[in-house]
A and B are shown apart, each in its own frame.
Chain A
């Protein structure tokens, strides 16, 4: 059904999206929890979180190059300390994807946290649960369905990131060539349309499965959680 090249593209996409989700989700949950309450300077964090949506993806990729490129401050440090190259690698593609799906993850988690009844956290506090304990024992499990649904959607979206990934990680088959990058590559070749159609169909199917999967997962978990 799938050619070896297509299987490789698919596997690259999965691997990039998985890594991106793994890196992005914990930070997104922490940001969302903060943003669901009031604190000074909230609008600044709120703006910063949404930056990847507003900026052209190419610019996000370029900013990542400036920071994480071999001569960028973080990239240089990583190379000196750990010998890690990020730009133009699988990890780089994942990093660019992580940045791009971050706002989506924060948004889903924030809605889930805002729907949480703060009086339950008060009840936990008078049962001797400290702030961190309350977060892990009450807030996170109750916000879980919303966060997980957001994560599945973000995963599906992450497999389709283009602008930031190609700018920061380039289009290297087997390393950084995800589905949309492969579609772009075959379209550059004469007669590549039919292969592009196959890949597009694949991409579309994955995206739809992600959306539908997220919806079902959320319903099922909410039912389980709320009895």
Chain B
């Protein structure tokens, strides 16, 4: 599939967004940043809903380029979008909402509505008016509608923001399954680091309308610009998803290991569930603003971070090159 190539500038009052981004066509790109960092503006600009300077290209196709005064309207871009608030049409039933997309989709890309409905587990509620649906049901109908429109790239603006814990994780799993099943490249906006890790292959971090970090998730999250975006309690590192998930394949690539949840030992601990122990080598130790120390440990699942006290660093002799074992509390990973 085709990558999105974006280089845009736009101004909204005092706010200015400048973003040069490449979202690969083969995975999920997460746009991460605090509120007001320009995530939604970025998506609107890509979809053609908001005018901007610069260019947006999908593969070789130019969707917009202010240099040649080209601004393709949103209905011609082949860019789908799922909004935070579902935005189902209130005068139509769930089925009619999905059929709305079907009727306007290119004939050669049409997907069977029944099959899509089964995939999203919404077949039973297709004939209900959309105002009788729960938040989670609405989100799934909105996803089905966006998928049936057969876009070449799908943008998702925090579609799970209104959902709570359990339903949120279920929805993220639906997104991962959908991505795997329909091979649809996606750009997902979120401000939650666990959601970002669960979904991302690639990351674009925005701060005050500027790109603070970008690249493959595990690398981009190690850039200095990224750490500054996080709540200190969320400081941590991406581990590739091979660990800790008991059996079931989730399609998830990364887990976010918070530094606060990792205990370090300088000898192999015994009588502890062995699955949760990662052996590694200390790469660096850096002092945080609050006086604590963040120890970078290079392990088989990637570089992970552990927050320890200054005293612990001295006592254990945690210096670069030192062999150490990280203990991960498994429940801390299931946000």
Contact = CB atoms under 8 A, between A and B. Distances in A.
Interface of A: 119-120, 122-131, 133, 137-138, 141-142, 225-227
Nearest to A117: B87
Contacts of A138: 89
Contact of B90 (A124, A131, A227): A227
B241 to A, nearest CB: 31
A138 B105 CA distance: 17
B64 to A, nearest CB: 14
B75 A225 contact: no
B104 A128 contact: yes
B83 interface: yes
Residue from B73, B79, B85, B87 having most chain A Cβ neighbours under 10 A = B87
A120 B92 CA distance: 12
Given A126-B146, A126-B151, 14 more contacts: A122-B87, A124-B89, A125-B47, A126-B149, A127-B145, A127-B146, A142-B89, A142-B90, A225-B90, A226-B90, A226-B91, A226-B129, A227-B129, A227-B132
A119 B90 CA distance: 12
B132 A119 contact: no
B47 A126 contact: yes
B149 A127 contact: yes
Nearest to B93: A227
Contacts of B161: none
Interface string B60-90: 0000000000000111111111010101011
A126 B49 contact: yes
B300 interface: no
A125 B74 contact: yes
A39 B76 CA distance: 23
B16 to A, nearest CB: 22
Given A142-B91, A226-B90, A227-B130, A126 B100 contact: no
Contacts of B100: 124, 127, 129, 137
A130 B77 CA distance: 11
B122 interface: no
10 contacts: A120-B87, A120-B90, A122-B87, A123-B81, A125-B47, A130-B73, A130-B75, A141-B91, A226-B131, A227-B132
B330 to A, nearest CB: 40
Nearest to A226: B90
A138 B88 CA distance: 11
Nearest to A224: B91
A138 to B, nearest CB: 6
Contacts of B151: 126
Nearest to A130: B75
Contacts of A127: 75, 80, 100-101, 104, 145-146, 149
Contacts of A226: 90-91, 129, 131
A142 to B, nearest CB: 6
Contacts of A227: 90, 129-132
B91 A126 contact: no
A136 B101 CA distance: 15
A128 B105 contact: yes
The 9 closest A-B pairs by CB, nearest first: A227-B129, A123-B87, A227-B131, A125-B74, A128-B104, A126-B81, A225-B91, A127-B101, A128-B75
A138 B129 CA distance: 15
Interface string B36-51: 0000000000011100
Contacts of A142: 89-91
Contacts of A120: 87, 89-90
Contact of B79 (A124, A126, A137, A225): A126
A130 B74 CA distance: 8
A122 B79 CA distance: 12
A227 B47 CA distance: 30
Contacts of B129: 226-227
A215 B100 CA distance: 30
A137 to B, nearest CB: 7
A128 B149 contact: yes
Residue from B74, B80, B130, B131 having most chain A Cβ neighbours under 10 A = B74
A131 B73 CA distance: 9
A129 B103 CA distance: 10
Given A137-B100, A227-B131, A126 B80 contact: yes
B10 to A, nearest CB: 16
A62 to B, nearest CB: 44
Contacts of A125: 47-49, 73-75
Given A122-B74, A226-B91, A227-B130, A129 B85 contact: no
Interface in B141-158: 145-146, 149, 151
